Amino acid sequence: MLEADFKYIIDTFFTLFAMVLIIFMVPGFAMLEAGLVRTKNVAAVLTMNVMIYAVASLAFLLIGYEIAFGGWESDTQSIWAAFMFQMAFVGKTVNIMSGGVSERVRIIPLAIFTAIMGSIIYPLVVNVTWGADMLAGTMLDIDMYDLAGSTVIHSTGGWALLAAILIIGSRKGRYQDGKIRVIPASNIPLVVLGALLLWIGWFGFNGGSVGSISSVENANLVAKTIMNTNTAGLAGAFIAGIIMYFRYKLLDITMILNGALGGLVAVTAGPDLYDMYTPILIGLIGGALVVFAVPLFDKLKIDDPVGALSVHLINGIWGTLAVGIFIDDISFLAQLKGVVLIGVFVFSVSFIILYSINKISKYRASDDEQLEGMDVSECGLEAYPEFKRVI
């Protein structure tokens, strides 16, 4: 057998393996968000998650992939595997965004934005980073290192979310009389299940982004990437627990998990480049950032029920810059330029599109709909119809 054939076969198999892990993030996000919102909004949140997978993926299949990569070709592995791997990423950017506007967003206008995100906005971001690179040679050429998307995925989703929150506003009653009303997560087991599925999906996300496992060098790189990814998650969970304990003598599991996710986001830009100890530091900082960012956004009355801005935007930025800090060959300024350019582009384009859609079909559910819960108005059913509710 030709060595090239061997590599083609192994890398196709490996990409499919990595892709499947990423698809576990679909139930991962769904369960995480369903657990974090109130019972009256659970079915709507779940419907959003399934809608996002369907719409974003179809949009990427029909339009987005070609914009991102300039054509359907692949020499080193099956193009169909390469597509599936990339497709598995698309919905994530919208997932990040939709979680943060849950409990008041209507699904149909969100579906329209999802289609635009999956077919145009995200593909353009990929084009200028991992893809065909239409900015190559121009002043705006982005030369940052971002293995698996601290910026391309996570802060992209985060910026779109920030734009969405500014347009849609906070949940009815969340900031009232100068106080912040605490709204507890309704189903902690689902939160834990969802976060752990995301964690597992991250192995595929980052490991698969190495792109090949079919040489000794790449096999080591893939394994180190997965190990470092995991380590940052561990450290993020650890520090969030430590901070919560020393502050409140209480271990808030939702914060611990968001700390883990923060660490995972932060390491995502360069898990292949770090030695085995650096991800501990990156994860510790990432987890701590989440713990401090969550109340900060609340002070700014930026209402984000699932902590997505703290996890994905803040740590997407931190993680991308971290590569420039910890790796000698990587320019900090190039990283910063990438963060800023992508940020400006995604935020402004998302804002304009969200704003325009909002003129035609309001994103924000009425106060009455929010009071009754989005499940009834959006889905015509309840998530747990038989359980008597306290509230």
The nearest distance, CB 64 to a copy of itself, in angstroms, is 13
The nearest distance, CB 367 to a copy of itself, in angstroms, is 19
- Please report how many Cα atoms fall inside a 13 Å half-sphere around the Cα of residue 274, on the Cβ side: 31
Residue in the block written with tokens 């830009």:
269
- In the bound state with a copy of itself, the residue whose beta carbon lies nearer, of 231 and 320, is 231
The nearest distance, CB 307 to a copy of itself, in angstroms, is 14
The nearest distance, CB 104 to a copy of itself, in angstroms, is 16
Which amino acid, residue 249? Answer: K
The nearest distance, CB 105 to a copy of itself, in angstroms, is 13
- In the bound state with a copy of itself, the residue whose beta carbon lies nearer, of 79 and 180, is 79
CA-based nearest residue to 266, from 300, 310, 299, 213? 310
- In the bound state with a copy of itself, the residue whose beta carbon lies nearer, of 244 and 349, is 244
φ/ψ (deg, to 5) at 21 = -60, -40
Give CB contacts under 8 A, 24+ apart, made by 110-116.
110/48, 110/51, 110/52, 110/363, 111/51, 111/55, 112/357, 112/361, 113/350, 113/353, 113/354, 113/357, 114/51, 114/52, 114/55, 114/56, 114/59, 115/55, 115/56, 115/59, 116/59, 116/353
- In the bound state with a copy of itself, the residue whose beta carbon lies nearer, of 103 and 151, is 103
- In the bound state with a copy of itself, the residue whose beta carbon lies nearer, of 127 and 186, is 186
Q: Cα separation of 176 and 158, whole Å?
A: 25
- In the bound state with a copy of itself, the residue whose beta carbon lies nearer, of 114 and 320, is 114
The nearest distance, CB 111 to a copy of itself, in angstroms, is 8
CB 200 within 8 A of CB 233: no
Q: Residues 6 or more apart from 87 whose CB is under 8 A from it?
A: 57, 60, 61, 65
The nearest distance, CB 338 to a copy of itself, in angstroms, is 27
CA-based nearest residue to 225, from 168, 275, 186? 275
- In the bound state with a copy of itself, the residue whose beta carbon lies nearer, of 359 and 388, is 388
CB 354 within 8 A of CB 163: yes
